[in-house]
Each structure stands twice: as C-alpha cells, then as structure tokens.
A and B are shown apart, each in its own frame.
Chain A
Amino acid sequence: MTQLQSRPAAGREGINRRGSLEPRDPRSPRRSTAVALLLACATLITLDKTGGVLDPVRRVTGEVLGPAESAVSTVARPITSVPGWFHTRDGLKSRIADLQEQNAKLQEQVRTSDLDRNRLAEYDGLTRTAESIGYAVVPSRVIALGPAQSFHRTATIDAGSASGVRPDMTVVAAQGLVGRVLRVTSTTATVLLITDGDSTVGGRVGSSMKVGFVHGDSDLGDGGANQLELQLVDRSSIPRRGDTVVTWGSAKAAPYVSGVPIGQVTSAYASVRDSSTTAAIAPFVDFGALDLVGVVVPSGTSSDRAIIDADGRLKK
C-alpha cells in the first residue's frame, strides 16, 4: 500500500506555484469533488424541503430495502426478544403484587359496573346506528425503528399498499394510538409515531370532554413517561392527574379516527407566559417495545391478508 502511494501516478501530477511538477496522492480528496458533492447535498435539501419531488425515489428505495428489513427483523425476532426474558426476582415479585392489586380493583369494578354497562350498551347501540362507518384493522408488525440520531420517531411496518394501507391512515396498538401512515410501498409503510416532535393529534380529555392538541415533546428517550404534551383549547380548565386522553378524530377519519385512547395525564400546569394550560401525558403504548400494530382501514377494504373487522372477527 505504501509503495503504491509513493509512486507518482502518471497523469496525476500537478504544477505547483513554483512551476515545478509535484506528485499528487491520487487518493487525497480533490476540491472539485468536494464542491460537487456539497452542492449536491444543498440541492437535495432544497428539493426535498420545497416539495415532494423526491417521493418517487423514496418509494423505490423502500420497495428495494423494505423486504430486506422485513426479513432481517423476522430472523432476528428470537434474538431481539432476549432482553425481555431477564427479570430480577424482586422485579417479578413486585410485578405479581401490582397485578394482584390491579386484579382486585378490576374485580371490584366489574361487580359495581352492571348499571354502567347497561347504560353503555344503550349508548353503544345508539352510536352504531348513528354512525354506520365501521372500522377494520390490518394487523402488521414493526420491522424497523428510526434511530434517535435522526431526531425523528418513525417506524416501518410490514403492511403496504397491497394490504390496503394508504397514507394518512391511523395506526393503533392493543393499548392505544401509535401514529399515522406517512407513505407506503407495496409491502411496507412508514409510520410517524405520535411521540415525534412534528406530530400533532387532536385529543379530548375523557372526564371533562375538553379538547386540545397532543404534541410529541420530541424527548426521544424511552421509558414511556411524559413523552406527550396536551395543550388545551379552553385555557381555564385544568385536567386531573390520571385522566384519560382520547383522539377526537379528524374530518373523514384521516389521519386520525376518533375515540382511540392516547395516554394518561401525569401532571398539568398553567403557563403564565402564553396563558395556556399544558398537561404532560404518558402514552399507553410502550414505544420502546413496539411490535404488533394495526392500521385502521375502512370496513370492506380488499387486502392480501386477513383483516380484523369492526365486530372483532378475522375476515379473509
């Protein structure tokens, strides 16, 4: 390697200021290349910032790399689930205690909730007749998560346009809202998580029915606590600790359908500076361990896989 370097390459010599020939290392960066590449970066940034010129390129890249990501994720699932096996004895004990307590509480609730349930059934029937749009869910798995180095919270799921997924559809997990679909390829879709700094979801406080906007506070850490912020439109009302926040839904159910639980209020404070009420929300979904999610599609969507229909049945 050293020999190759010290040997002056033919045709690559330059004339220096004193007018004599000077051998040039062919591997050292050339100024023209640097300038060209820097300009290319600037052009790309401008193009992408101003409009969706690069969307077809993104789509093609996704079509090629999506299946590979899907395959690696599937193969690696037994390995990546290893950290979940390790629990300390104390951890398990306290978990059992927690679950027993929760169980007791739930049983109590079940005993006292007959009346509530009957009333709820009535309301449910009412809603069903008033609103004939049922939702179905396309089940899919998360195959890639964007790194925090990119300062964005995005994920790739293994359902794409072939499964009936389109941009601006709601993505949910069993626990609650996950995000919305940004763009799709035939086999994958990119999802903007609600914890992303750019994400805004219309939210409603369950107990007071007050509406507001839930932002990701772009704190990229996992752990689940306080990753969201709720800003209420009505500045006089302060949500209580433990209140549940659900989506209030967008027009034509895109990008968010209504009534999906988002998270729980952990603290609320009124800001004097911009005279608004802000509440910290802990999301129900653990974004550090996202796996099985569902994309909400209109009932009757044709898909290459089984769809969980509005009545909870699996439909092919």
Chain B
Amino acid sequence: MSGLLVAIGLILQVSLFDAFAWQGVVPNLVLMVVVAGALSRGGQAGMVLGFTAGLLMDLAPPADTVAGRWALALLVAGYVAGRFRQDTPTGRPSVTAVVATVATCSFVATSIFALTGMILQDPAIGFGEVLRVIGIGLFWDVLLTPLFLPVLLTLYARADAEARRA
C-alpha cells in the first residue's frame, strides 16, 4: 500500500501541483506519505519507506538529480518521524505533534537534499536561494498537513487493523 501511496503522491506532485507552485516550490506529498508511514508504523518501517520513496523521486521523470540524494533525505525524514512516534506512544499522535513532525521532517529533508547538492555541486546554488526554497517548502507542507495527513494516517490505521485481523 505504501508503494502505491508514494507513487500517487509523486505523480500528483509533478503533474498536478506544478500548476499551483509558488515560486516553483510545490508541496512535498511524498514526504507526507513517508511521515504518515513512520508515524503509524515506527522508525524501522519509516526509514525503509523513506529510502524507497526518495529513490523513486530521484529516478522518475522529470528528475535530473544525482540518484540517492532524495533517498538519503527522506530516509532521515522517516527516521526523525519514527522518533516522534516513540515520544507519543499512546495511540494516535495529537494534531500539534503531527504538524510539528511534518514541519521538522520538511525542514530536515529539504536541508539534507540541499546540503548534498552543495557538496556534489549539483548544481552550484546560492545559500539565500536554498533558505528561501526551504522556507516556502515548509510553509506549503504545514499548510497541506490538515488536508492530507489525517487521510493517510486513517488509511495506515485501517490497513494495520486488517493485517492484525488476518
């Protein structure tokens, strides 16, 4: 199920939300799927999901980044979200916790992606520009969290319940 969600998120991100992009920055739906997965299934699953989702983002058209950069960024995001879950072990995390998790993960993931880009010179980019993109990305992700995260968390909860029953 995670794979399907990631693919849907990625396709919507590049094919639908590009029309609503603010200064080229779009909401990172793939990141939201990873956060939801990590929040409901823990850090172990979050890391694996983050890695696979990031790899897909690196390889799917129109990406032209060095492969492995988004994989690394979302891997860490999955890990961080998993840690947030450990802090709230009682059932479903609260709304503030979810928003805080998405905000942190968005900041961490875009920052790591930008940092690897700076190291690999892919492409050489200014520091101010990076900060601006991180800021707008953070704003988008927090803005859309109330829309997407509840749906994703419910989907995961339902899938887990079914798996337990089976």
Which of A4, A38, A58, A150 makes the CB contact (< 8 A) with B75? A38
Q: A27-B45, A218-B126 are in contact. Are A150 and B51 (CB under 8 A)?
A: no
User: Size band of the A side of the interface?
Assistant: 35 or more
The contact sample of 29 A-B pairs, CB cut-off 8 A, is A27-B44, A28-B42, A28-B43, A30-B44, A38-B72, A41-B71, A44-B55, A45-B67, A45-B120, A47-B67, A47-B68, A65-B60, A68-B7, A68-B11, A70-B15, A72-B16, A73-B16, A76-B16, A76-B19, A83-B20, A146-B64, A149-B113, A151-B123, A152-B123, A155-B62, A190-B63, A191-B62, A220-B133, A288-B21
- Distance (whole angstroms) from the CB of A230 to the closest CB of chain B: 18
B10 close to chain A: CB less than 8 A = yes
Enumerate chain B residues within 8 angstroms of A38, measured Cβ to Cβ.
72, 75
Chain B: minimal CB distance from A187 (Å): 10
Asked whether, in the complex, the Cβ of A144 is within 8 Å of the Cβ of B14, the reply is: yes
Q: Are A57 and B71 in contact (CB under 8 A)?
A: no
Interface residues of A in 184-203 (CB under 8 A from B): 185, 188, 190-192, 196-198
Known contacts A43-B68, A147-B14; is A34 also within 8 Å of B79 by CB?
Answer: yes
Q: What's the least CB distance linking B98 to chain A, in Å? A: 16
- A38-B72, A65-B11, A156-B62 known; A147 vs B113 contact (CB < 8 Å): no
Chain B: minimal CB distance from A219 (Å)? 7
Given contact pairs A154-B63, A185-B61, A198 touches B14 in the complex (Cβ within 8 A): no
Contacts of A145 in B (CB 8 A): 14, 18, 21, 62
Are A149 and B110 in contact (CB-based, < 8 A)? yes
Closest to A27 in B: B42
| B155 CB within 8 Å of chain A | no
Q: Which of B11, B25, B41, B91 contacts A149 (CB 8 A)?
A: B25
Instruction: Check if A314 is an interface residue, CB within 8 A of chain B.
Output: no
A45-B68, A65-B60, A218-B129 as given contacts; A147 in contact with B25, CB under 8 Å = yes
Q: How far is the CB of B91 from chain A (nearest CB, A)?
A: 6
Q: Flag whether B66 is at the interface (Cβ < 8 A).
A: yes
- In the assembled complex, A182 has its CB within 8 A of some CB on chain B: yes
Which residues on A sit within 8 Å (CB–CB) of B63? 146, 150, 152, 154, 190
- Residues of chain A lying within 8 A (CB to CB) of residue B46: 29
- A89 contacts chain B at the CB level, 8 A cutoff: no
| CB nearest to A25 among chain B residues | B42
Q: How many residues of B contact A (CB 8 A)?
A: 68
The answer, yes or no, to whether B59 is at the interface (CB within 8 Å) is yes
Interface string of A61-84 (1 = CB under 8 A from B): 110011011101100100111010
**For A57, what are the chain B residues with a Cβ–Cβ distance below 8 Å?**
59, 67
**Restricting to B1-30, which residues have a CB under 8 Å from any CB of A?**
7, 10-16, 18-21, 23-26, 28
In the complex the two chains form, is B15's CB within 8 Å of A37's CB?
no
Interface bits A144-179 vs B (CB < 8 Å: 1, else 0): 111111111111100000000000000000000000
A45 to B119, CA, bound (A): 12
- In the complex, whether A232 has a CB less than 8 A from a CB of chain B is no
A62 to B122 CA separation, bound complex (whole angstroms): 21
Please tell me if A246 contacts chain B, counting CB pairs below 8 Å.
Answer: no
Min CB distance B70 to A, Å, is 8
Cβ distance B106 to chain A, nearest Cβ, rounded Å:
9
B149 within 8 Å of A (CB atoms):
no
B56 within 8 A of A: yes
B89 lies within 8 A of A80 (CB)? no
Contacts of A62 in B (CB 8 A): 60-61
Within B99-155, the residues touching A (CB, 8 Å) are 110, 113-114, 116-117, 120, 122-126, 129-130, 133, 136-137
Known contacts A48-B68, A149-B110; 18 additional CB pairs below 8 A are A1-B91, A27-B43, A28-B43, A37-B51, A37-B75, A44-B71, A45-B116, A62-B60, A65-B7, A73-B16, A76-B15, A147-B24, A149-B113, A152-B64, A153-B24, A198-B123, A219-B129, A220-B129
Whether B47 and A48, one on each chain, are in contact in the complex, defined by CB atoms closer than 8 angstroms, is: no
- Answer whether A40 and B71 are a contact pair too, CB < 8 Å, given A29-B47, A188-B61: yes
Whether the pair B15, A144 counts as a contact (CB closer than 8 A) is: yes
Distance from B119 Cβ to chain A, minimum over Cβ atoms (Å): 9
**Interface check A252, CB cutoff 8 A:** no
* List of A residues within 8 angstroms of B137 by Cβ: 149
A11 interface residue, CB < 8 Å from B? Answer: no
Q: Is B89 a contact partner of A42 (Cβ separation < 8 A)?
A: no
Q: Is A54 interfacial (CB 8 A cutoff)?
A: yes
